Amino acid sequence: MKLNHGRQLSFRVGIGFTLAIILIIVMIYTAPINAGSESVLRVANSKAWKPYSFINNSGEPEGILIDFWNEYAELNDVEVEFVLVDWNDSLEAIKDGRADVHGGLLWSEPREEFLDFAEPLFEIETQLYYHQKDVGNDISPLLNGEVADAIGAVKGGYEEYFARKEFPKANILVYSTTKELLIAANSGRVTAFVSDLLTSNFYLYSSKEPLSFVPVQYLYSGDLYPAVKKGNESLRNQVISGFTNLTDENRKGILQKWMYIETVYPTQTLWLVVVVVTAMILFFIAIFRRHMISRTKHLEDTNQRLMKLSLTDVLTGISNRRHFTDYIESLEKDGHTISVMIFDIDNFKNVNDTYGHTIGDEVIRFVAQVVKTELNSTMHFSRIGGEEFAIVALDLDFEAAKDLAQRVCRKVHQGNRSEGYLNQLSISVGCAFYEECSGNIDIVKADHLMYRAKKQGKNRVVVEKV
């Protein structure tokens, strides 16, 4: 039976309307979920970069950066999935789309070509490590490639990029993970290696020979940034916005959690102790107790050395930037005047370019030793950058603070001139004097005053009340 024309038209309209409704429902239920609510954010990083990101013995992601991203996920109602692989592969994961965000890495020009960086999370410090039996030997032949010995670094890490850039003639060997790098170092395949301070401490101080390698030269400090694939501006903004929800208290809590290394006895050793104690009863209980006392003291000594190492600048023996920051934050400000001095070595790049980095290190040590003679035990003296230093003095009046800054500047310039590279050596000093301070103290004001001193001709002091 055939429908007439009107009924055919009505039938077609009804069918079309029904299909349209079905299509709309399907689109609603299959549309991409809005990123930042229930979507999965894939975060890439290294699987063996202790203590920043690694896979623990239970097969779970763990580390400082993992904690940062878990906190990010909780505060922003985002599900985070970690893609932990070899370091170099973590970069490839961003390139080929296996991950959306890199959890944290240093900026470099090659990385800028395929990544857009968000805001920094925290700073790390990197050193050149040398076997302790060779400490004191000249490392210039190694850095200049004059010997066959090699320097180790993690493949694809900023350490490899820095080593190849700064020591282009050196023999650089790369390894997939820090663990493989340390195995190569302990087996003698590399004489030295480049690694950030905290990572090396975690691996070295949980090894059988915690002091086999020691840091001998500060190389650089830098911030770790989250990063997204080049051009993904919306995700970059989402990451920046999300991390603003992390308070300073959140950040400090995560970092302090990972500040110390815990050395745990292997399970096999514990079973052996149980068997021996059971078999030999009281006699071996006494031996075990003496062993535990000795081992505990060893661990305490190791932790003390580690704490001192983490707060001391290896090159000069004075406090490092981390110790300086902790000291500033812990200052009792009420009832004290506070003088914050920042200075750096004038024209230091010329020293490195003319005489090399080894002589540059000698100049830094020389300046530190000269300045220490002008300070007393109540003053805090730190190296906070390559050739940059800081002094904090309490309870000086304005004139005394000004006099101290001028003495330091003058003493460096009038120091020992027995070596050619010390000729014309000078520093520029900025001193911020806080007569009363109710708020936070930072180095920004003193830093600006130091640059004013440089603009005025260098080898001088600019002091100002804040």
Candidate list 74, 387, 419, 464, residue with the active-site label: 387
> Which residues fall within 8 angstroms of residue 444, CB to CB, at 6 or more apart?
none
CA distances from 100 to 74, 86, 186, 286 (A): 18, 17, 36, 57
Taking the mean position of all CA atoms in its chain, how far away is CA 136? 26
> Which residues fall within 8 angstroms of residue 143, CB to CB, at 6 or more apart?
151, 167, 169, 170, 357, 358
CA 305 – CA 311 distance, rounded (Å): 10
* Token duo for residue 228: 């997204």
202-209: which pairs have CB atoms within 8 A and are 24 or more residues apart?
Answer: 202/50, 202/51, 202/261, 203/50, 203/178, 203/179, 205/261, 205/263, 205/302, 205/306, 206/261, 206/263, 207/182
CA 298 – CA 304 distance, rounded (Å): 10
Write down the residue that tokens 């170092």 correspond to: 185
Q: Helix or strand or coil: residue 67?
A: helix
Alpha helices in 313-386 (DSSP H): 321-330, 348-355, 357-372
DSSP 284-327: HHHHHHHHHHHHHHHHHHHHHHHHHHHHB-TTTSSB-HHHHHHH
Rounded to 5 degrees, φ, ψ at 420 are -60, -35
Residue 160 annotated to the active site: no
CA distances from 117 to 88, 110, 236 (A): 17, 13, 7
Query: Which residues are identified as catalytic?
Result: 387
